[in-house]
Each structure stands twice: as C-alpha cells, then as structure tokens.
Amino acid sequence: MKTFFNLIQEVQKPGLCHRCGGCVTFCTAVNYGALELDKQGSPKYRDIEKCIECGLCYSICPEIEELEEEVKRKLAWSAPMGRVIETTVARAKDEQIRARATDGGVVTALLVHLFDTGKIDGAIVTRPTGRFQRHPTLATSREEILEAAGFYFDMSQGVNQINEEYRTYSSIEEFAPIMQKGLRRVALVGTPCQIQSVRRMELLEIMPSDSIKFCFGLFCSGNFIFGDIQRKKLSDTHNIDWNAVKKLNVKETFRVHSSEGEVKELPLSDLEFMKRYACRFCMDYASEYADISFGGIGADEGWTTVITRTPLGRAVFADARNKLVEDFLVSENAGYASQALSITRVASNDKKQTARKNLKTLGSKGVNVVS
C-alpha cells in the first residue's frame, strides 16, 4: 500500500503538488495528526511516528489516478470537459452584490440564497485581509458571505491568491472549524484540484467530506504568485499604477480597471511567468467535478458563465432563479449560452493540450497524472 512517503516521491518531488490540502485535511480530521502544511502551503510530515500508513492520503490526491474512474462514474463525467446539464449566462439580481462582485456575483448570490433558505450553515470562501491579500475562511453568516465577494483571481479563472503566500480553500484551517462547530451542511467554493480531492474523500466516505453538501467550482487557468516582484514586473511592462487600480477581472484576457474608468487588457500569456509550476500539468480548466462551475470567460462584463453539472447543482440554480439570480434575456441573444459554452470548451481543450505537452518534459518519473 502506498503512503504519504510515496506522495512525496511521486507528486511533490516532480513538482506536481497543487497544495489543495486534501491529504492534510483528512489526516487532521481523523485525529492522526501525522501531516501539516508548511508556510508555503505544502503538505509535510508533522510527526512521522503518528502515520499509520493507511494510504488514504495517497488515494485522495488529485494527481493520483487510483480513484479517477470511480469518481468519473459517480459523477457521470463525460468527454470532453465533464458532464454539462445546462449552460447559461447569469448575474445576481441584487445590485449591492453585483457592485462587490468581479463578474456577475452569481457565486455569492447562490451562497446567500442557500444560507437564507436554511440549506447550508456556512460556506468555505476567502475574505479580504488587505488590498492585495485574501485568506480562506469559514463564513457562517450572511454578512461574512457578502464580505467574501469580489476579485481574488479565482472568481473568474482561478488564479488563487494575490499575495506571495499560497493558501487553499480546502485546508485544515477551514475544515477544522466545521468539525469544532458541528456544522453538517457546508458549501465549498474551490478550484478544480480542491474539488477533485473532496470528491475522492466522498467516494471513500471519509471525514470531513460528509459535511460538504455543495461543491462550487471555479474556472481555473492556473494558480499564480502575485507578490511585490510580480506586480512590479507587470507594472513595468504594462505601465500599471497599482494605487489607481479599482478592479481586476479575468475573462478571455486579464483586465485591469482603474479608478478613472480606464481598462487595460493583458493577454493571459503575459502572466505565465507568475504561474505555479504544478499548474502547468493540470488538465482541468472548467472544474469538471463540481456541482456547478463558474467563470467570467464567454460572458460580458457584469455577467458570469454558469455550467450546472449535477442534478443537485441544477436544483440549486433553479431554486435561486428569478429570486437572487437572473439569466440573460434570450430574446436579446438566443445563442449567448451556447457561445459561452463553446468558448469555455476551447479554453478547456487548450489547457489539456498544454498540460499534455508539458508532461512530456517531465520524463519518466513514475508519476500517475490525471488525464
């Protein structure tokens, strides 16, 4: 049976670890306490003597194929980018939510709706801790959910965190309060790798996945380091005054909105130097294992592309429709949703092709990578 030691050899050393936190989350949840996250968010042994070598941390890693086919069958996954029940372009009806949001505010609106109707006790989101910093948190009130609205890269394309310290949604910091408070109905907003890890936990019926009732996935072109050095380089090459930045947005391009109304569009390729190494080998762009996937790509400013993937996701979105969420008017653009889906499929295919190409550079390392 393979253990965390094998994860180090097969995933961490080749640079494939996405730091989703799944292995540490599980180990902590069942009180083994053998693993922890270091300051950079990477899993490591906390106390190797406590490791019982159960192998579950290895099985739930999104970079290991061991449970991949079982997860796909459970979710009725289909090529080319997962199950698609319905695609639409939508936005929050509440103008205050839209004002805080990066795109259409649909994720926030759905979380608020679930909370207001008593379907969740909380949501794992990120809250602002500075102008260019956010921190994952368990929101247990309507106000805390609203405070988490806004840009942190993940809202559109999944560039996680705009500070130098990489943190994840699905880490022990968020799951621990769930268990401590006895919460049994929580929504998770996460990137594809985080959703994949939770789905593997669900398949094995292990804690703390039993508390996660809804998985909201974000379109993800990669996780990027966005520290002082990176911001300076973007400023130098594109003449960006960060003090004048009002809003950041990612659709087909990286958009920088100034307080004076100017919008600069940067090709996403210009952010490539900021991308974390592991993200070069990830093939999931559109959060293919989520209940609902969200992204700015394919939608106009102020709107969100929404893909419902499971019956549960469809039910959630249908219940919020015309209450806290509104669709675009079909009469104004009958092909809008189809166009958004086509654009998303292109982006998904591009990410898969790039990942396959990059995987060839790894050589023979004995690593199983999700295809």
Domain count, the chain: 2
The verdict on 148 and 278 lying in the same domain is: yes
Q: Do residues 285 and 190 make contact, with C-beta atoms less than 8 angstroms apart?
A: no
The verdict on 207 and 341 lying in the same domain is: yes
The verdict on 217 and 122 lying in the same domain is: yes
pLDDT at 30 over 80: no
**Does the residue 206 lie in any domain?**
yes
pLDDT at 128 over 80: no
Q: What angle do CA 187, 144, 86 make, to 5 degrees?
A: 35
Lowest mean pLDDT across 99-113, 128-142, 258-272: 128-142
We report the CATH number of the domain holding residue 8 as 3.30.70.20
The verdict on 235 and 356 lying in the same domain is: yes
The verdict on 202 and 108 lying in the same domain is: yes
The verdict on 120 and 261 lying in the same domain is: yes
43-45/35-37 β-pairing: antiparallel
The verdict on 162 and 121 lying in the same domain is: yes
d(Cα 364, Cα 153) in Å, to the nearest integer?
A: 33
**Does the residue 182 lie in any domain?**
yes
Q: What is the pLDDT of residue 180?
A: 61
**Does the residue 367 lie in any domain?**
no
The verdict on 26 and 147 lying in the same domain is: no
pLDDT band at 328 (very low <50, low <70, confident <90, very high): very high
pLDDT at 3 over 70: yes
**Does the residue 370 lie in any domain?**
no
pLDDT band at 176 (very low <50, low <70, confident <90, very high): low
**Does the residue 6 lie in any domain?**
yes
The verdict on 51 and 77 lying in the same domain is: no
- Look at residues 17, 36, 58 and tell me which one is the last residue of a structural domain: 58
What is the token pair recorded at 13? 């050393």
**DSSP H helices in the chain:** 4-7, 22-29, 56-59, 68-74, 95-100, 106-116, 142-147, 172-181, 192-204, 228-238, 311-320, 336-359
**pLDDT mean over 102-130:** 89
The verdict on 122 and 201 lying in the same domain is: yes
d(Cα 62, Cα 66) in Å, to the nearest integer?
A: 9
d(Cα 75, Cα 289) in Å, to the nearest integer?
A: 7
- Look at residues 58, 77, 94 and tell me which one is the last residue of a structural domain: 58
Give the global pTM: 0.86
d(Cα 236, Cα 182) in Å, to the nearest integer?
A: 49
The verdict on 235 and 259 lying in the same domain is: yes
H or E stretch covering 136 = strand 133-139
pLDDT at 162 over 70: no
Domain that holds residue 30: 1-58
What pLDDT digit, counting tens, does each position of 184-222 carry? 899 999 889 889 999 999 999 887 788 899 999 999 988
Q: What is the pLDDT of residue 42?
A: 85
What count of other Cβ atoms lies within 10 Å of the Cβ of residue 181? 14
Q: What is the pLDDT of residue 357?
A: 93
The verdict on 308 and 328 lying in the same domain is: yes
pLDDT at 171 over 50: no
